[in-house]
Every structure is written in structure tokens, then in C-alpha cells.
Structure 1
Amino acid sequence: MRKVALLWAFIVGISFPSLAQKDKKASEVLDAMSKKYQTLNSYKALFSYAGEGGTYKGDLTVKKAAFRLKLAGQEVFTDGKTMSTYIKETNEVNVQDYDAGAAGDFNPTKIYSIYKQGYNYKYIGEQKQGGQAVEVVELTPEKKNTQITKVQISVNKADKSVKGWKLTDKTGKLTTYTIDKFTPNVAVADSYFVFDKSKYPGVEVVDLR
């Protein structure tokens, strides 16, 4: 169960940023990031997750409406129509119709546009992360009593890709995601985003459709 919670913590994390108040500098940073992602046909991001449960490595690949996420012994596949969630520990996969609006509007294929409504934001400043210059924007929800109370997004100043983000929840717990390697326009077949049970011997398929 802890690993399931970890995976969905990632999902909620990258779905959070939607913005409202207009801090000019923050808007410039986010618009540049948006423009960057809109020019990509696909991308791959290797990342680190750090929270109360420890530190983990993850892998996200996105191609148009499809994505594949690997984190903490689990994999999520979607081709934009069907979502399959594989749990290594139990050798089980749950298959369901993909709802792009589920899990708090989680959709990593829309990372460039999820910031456009619903939250306040401000420019924090320029920092160094991993030897690279990043620009940090802080987001806070307009609604009260939300699970996540603050998010800081770091955008690589040079190439405008997302370098990482920090989430603070209503209990004060901090969760950090850091992009260790970002590769734009990776060559990846459409079949990569579809769960192939022949590659997982003995897997139990739970069809929830």
C-alpha cells in the first residue's frame, strides 16, 4: 500500500500547478516553459523522489497523448485511451479506461498548459540546482483546506525544461522531485505505452473496464 501511495503522490504532484494571479516575472518563466514543451514530439525524464518514505528513482516517457511512468516497483502505461497499472510486488496489472481528468486532472502529456487557471503564483528568484541555474516559481491554491498548500517549480533557465518541484502538504510535510536527466524528442514506438502481458510471465490481469 505504501508503494501505491507513493506512485499516486507523484501523480498528484505533477498535476497540481494551475495558476491565477498574475506575477509578471513568474508568468514569463511559465510561458517560456510552456512554449518549450509544445515544440516537443516526445520526451523522457529520469527523476528522483524524496519524501518521508525514503528516496526513489523514477522514469517518465511522454509522446503526444501517451505516457509511461515507472516508480517504486510500479509502472503506469497509457496510450491515451487505456491505462494499465502494473504492481511488481504482486505481479498484478489493473486495466481501466483512461480518464485524463482523473487524479486531480493529472495528465503529464499536458505539462505545458496545466498552470493556466485556479492558483496564485509568484516569482521566488534564481537559484543553483545541480550546478545549473534555475528560476523558481511558487504556487498556492485559491481554495482553502486543500491537501497541497504550496508548490515550488524550478525551471531550467537555459533550456526552459522543468528541473524539479517541491510540494508542501497541509501537515507541513515536504516532498521533492528532481529531474536528473531530461531528453527531448526521444525515438519511442507507440507500443511502448501499451502493457504487453507476454513480457510479464504469470501476471494477473484485473480488468476494471
Structure 2
Amino acid sequence: MKKIVLVITILCFGFIGFSQNSNSAKALLDEVAAKVESYNNIYIEFNHKLDNVDADVHQETKGNVTLQGDLYHLNYMGTEQIFDGKKVYLIIHEDEEVIIQNPSDNEEETLTPSKMFSFYKNGYNYEMGELKNVKGIKIQYVNLSPIDSNSEILSIQVGVDVKTKHIYNIIETGENGTITTLNVTSFKTNQTISSKIFSFDKAKYQDQKKYTISETN
């Protein structure tokens, strides 16, 4: 009987410890999200890496994005992507083409600008990860695992700068072995920007540049 009580006690304390760890992990991400929401706008420069050892795929690209609430203007891989609150405008300069589409509701698109600071809120379990010293900066990692067992995402690590409470990087591991890493290299807030940065000038691309414009539903 004493052994049974001991086992139950250990299990209970283990569950409590896991629950506290989970709550602490989510609380940290909530703090990051709340801080982001307090800024008028954010300008981020980043490195985006994609690695798959088995497929011998290794890609690294730089980019930048300006965010204001849900609105964003992204420059990445020679293309621009603008979200004005209603439509997403993908401007492909190499092909002289513009694709207009509705924003995606896919919960697994974790690295899209509008979801970068909020994707964790639904569909994930939380666990506090390692505290690392990266180039003299203390980075606290939070480990996320999808609740959906059929998810193509195996795990996500969110690195948070302990001092600034800003995201340092996001590391996503796919079920196929692909590791996608977004490293933030510059993080500026409350910049002086024009509201036009989140608008698409159709006349500029259709009449002046003669780009092909198509719209999908």
C-alpha cells in the first residue's frame, strides 16, 4: 500500500512540475506577444535558412519585413509581399508578375509575417527549453509540439532574448527532416513610415511597369 501511495505521489508531483513548466513557457511567449503589440510598428531584418541533410538541400536567404498590426510589407528572395488587411499581393519582379490572393488560414504557416508572434497561441503544447548563451546574449528557448498528431511539423523552438523579450530565432523541424530557421538580425520599433508601404499601387504595376496581374480566390 505504501508503495502505491509513493508512486501516486511521484506521478502527481511530476504532473504538477510539467504543468508549471508549460505555464511558464506560454507565459514567456505571451509576454513577447504583448510587447510586440505595444509597438506602433516593427522593422525586422532576418536570415532564413532551410536545411535537409537527406535531400542535400541547404539554402540561406536574407530578407526584411515591416509590420504594423496585421499589415506587413515583406521583401524576400527577390519578391515583395504586401498585406493591406484584405488581400495579399505577391510581386514577382523577375517574372514581371503580380498575384493577388486572399490571406491563408493555414494554421501551420508559422513563419508568415502576420503569424510570427501569435502562431503559438493555438494548436501547440508548450515546454520550457534550454537557456543558452549566444554571442553573449542569453536566449531562453520554448519548445512547441503540435497537438495534431497528423501535423507535418515535428517541433518548433522559439528563442527569446531574455533581456529585451524579443524573438531571437524560430527553428522549425518538419516530419520530413527539413529544418527551417529564421534568425532575426535587426529589430527596430516605432519607425517613421509611410502608410503607403502597406498599399498596392495597381496603376504603377499594370500601366507603368506592364506587369501581368492575376487574382486567385
Q: In which range does the TM-score fall when normalised by the shorter chain?
A: 0.7 to 0.9
What does residue 215 of structure 2 align with? Answer: 207
What does residue 137 of structure 2 align with? Answer: 132
What does residue 16 of structure 1 align with? Answer: none
User: Which of the residues 82, 85, 91 maps onto 2:90?
Assistant: 85
Within 2, Cα distance between the matches of 1:130 and 1:205? 45
Identity score, percent: 26
Instruction: Report the alpha carbon displacement of residue 112 of structure 1 after superposing the two structures with TM.
Output: 4.1
SS across alignment from 1:36: helix
What does residue 14 of structure 2 align with? Answer: none
User: Which of the residues 183, 196, 204 maps onto 1:178?
Assistant: 183
Q: Looking at both structures, which has the greater relative contact order when contacts are Cα pairs under 8 Å and sequence separation is at least 6? A: 1
Alignment RMSD (CA, Å): 2.2
What does residue 154 of structure 2 align with? Answer: 149
Within 1, Cα distance between the matches of 2:77 and 2:85? 23
Matched-pair contact (CA < 8 Å) for 1:35–1:112: no
Deviations 1:77-131 (A, max 9, x none): 11101211011221100113x3363564666345444322321111112112343
SS across alignment from 2:39: coil
Matched-pair contact (CA < 8 Å) for 1:63–1:109: no
SS across alignment from 2:177: coil
1:47 alignment partner AA: F
Q: Which has the larger radius of gyration?
A: 2
What does residue 66 of structure 1 align with? Answer: 71
What does residue 50 of structure 1 align with? Answer: 49
Within 1, Cα distance between the matches of 2:92 and 2:155? 30
What does residue 99 of structure 1 align with? Answer: 103
Within 1, Cα distance between the matches of 2:23 and 2:106? 30
Instruction: Report the alpha carbon displacement of residue 53 of structure 1 after superposing the two structures with TM.
Output: 4.4
Within 1, Cα distance between the matches of 2:81 and 2:42? 16
> Where does structure 2 lack aligned partners over 5 or more consecutive residues?
1-18, 51-56
> Where does structure 1 lack aligned partners over 5 or more consecutive residues?
1-20
Matched-pair contact (CA < 8 Å) for 2:107–2:119: no
SS across alignment from 1:89: coil
1:37 and 2:43 correspond: no
Deviations 1:143-180 (A, max 9, x none): 11211110000011111111111111112221111000
Instruction: Report the alpha carbon displacement of residue 187 of structure 1 after superposing the two structures with TM.
Output: 1.8
Within 1, Cα distance between the matches of 2:107 and 2:197? 23
Count of aligned pairs between the two proteins: 188
Within 1, Cα distance between the matches of 2:103 and 2:216? 13
Within 2, Cα distance between the matches of 1:122 and 1:104? 19
Report the CA distance shift for 1:145/1:196 in structure 2 as closer, same or farther (over 3 A): same
TM-score by length of 1: 0.80
Within 2, Cα distance between the matches of 1:85 and 1:95? 6
2:105 alignment partner AA: G
